[in-house]
Amino acid sequence: MATADALINAMTTMLVTLDPPGLAPVFLGLTVGMTAAQRRQVALRGSIIAFGILTVFALFGAGVLGLLGISMGAFRIAGGLLLFWISFEMVFERRQERKEKTSQAAITIDHLRDLAVFPLAIPLIAGPGAISATVLLAGTFTTVFDRVLLIGVLALMMLAVYLTLLLAEKLDRFLGVTGRAILTRLLGVILAALSVQFVVDGVRSAFNL
């Protein structure tokens, strides 16, 4: 059964990986010209779809890895390194720039036909980092009850993302450029520490230490 520390670690990992404050200005850029009701609809649909994607990986990600012959230890190492790279981008303000470029390219290609699915749900919310973090966490939440708790954590984090998107305009105005920079760097440092722990756990698992 998952401990309170494991639940806190899971919530922290998903929160800093999803980075709701970082999504807010990108969401504003994607929904320029939309009414408040249209923005709510896009935010709700995008959050629900992203939750579905992460839930699938929480339940079946480890099984797919097994079919491919990839051990959980190896995936923890690879996922930890990926999360560390994301934290590096957050600390040095490269992740936000990449997110904005991704969203701009998607608008040009898709012409906003289904904005909630692409690029909002994937890759901006349920991106490689969030998917990797979900599969890594699923490796420590092994029982049926633990998986239910993990899905509950994902639902809670998606609710946080949805509420942040609803408050995107106010949040962006409140934080300002300096506030966003400070918050993103702080979350990046926390994610870096968590990613190193994933690598350490992966090495122990892979080599039976």
What integer pLDDT is reported at residue 171 of this predicted model?
75
Q: How many Cα atoms within 13 Å fall on the side-chain side of residue 134?
A: 28
| Stronger pLDDT, 92 or 113, i.e. the higher one | 92
Domain, as residue range, for 125: 4-202
pLDDT of residue 10: 93
Taking 60 as the threshold, does the pLDDT of residue 104 lie above it? no
For residue 8, which amino acid is it? I
pTM equals 0.75
Query: Cβ–Cβ contacts within 10 Å for residue 119, how many?
Result: 24
Q: What is the pLDDT of residues 108-159, one digit of tens each?
A: 444 344 788 887 898 789 987 898 899 999 988 988 999 999 999 999 999 9
Separation of first and last alpha carbons in the chain: 23
CB 137 within 8 A of CB 47: no
pLDDT at 107 over 60: no
pLDDT value at residue 152: 96
Query: Does 11 map to a domain?
Result: yes
Q: How far apart are CA 83 and CA 8, in angstroms?
A: 18
* C-alpha–C-alpha distance, residues 186 and 126, integer Å: 21
Of 13-22, 37-46, 173-182, minimum mean pLDDT range: 173-182
DSSP state of 143: S
Instruction: Say how many domains are in the chain.
Output: 1
Question: Does 193 reside within a domain?
Answer: yes
Residues 69, 104: Cα–Cα separation, whole Å: 37
Instruction: Examine residue 207 and state whether it is found in any structural domain, yes or no.
Output: no
Q: Exposed, middle or buried: residue 188 (CB in 10 Å: 0-12, 13-18, 19+)?
A: buried
Query: For residue 36, with 0-12 CB atoms within 10 Å meaning exposed, 13-18 middle and 19 or more buried, which class applies?
Result: exposed
Instruction: Show Cβ contacts of residue 127 under 8 Å, excluding neighbours closer than 6 positions.
Output: none
Helix, strand, or coil (residue 94): coil
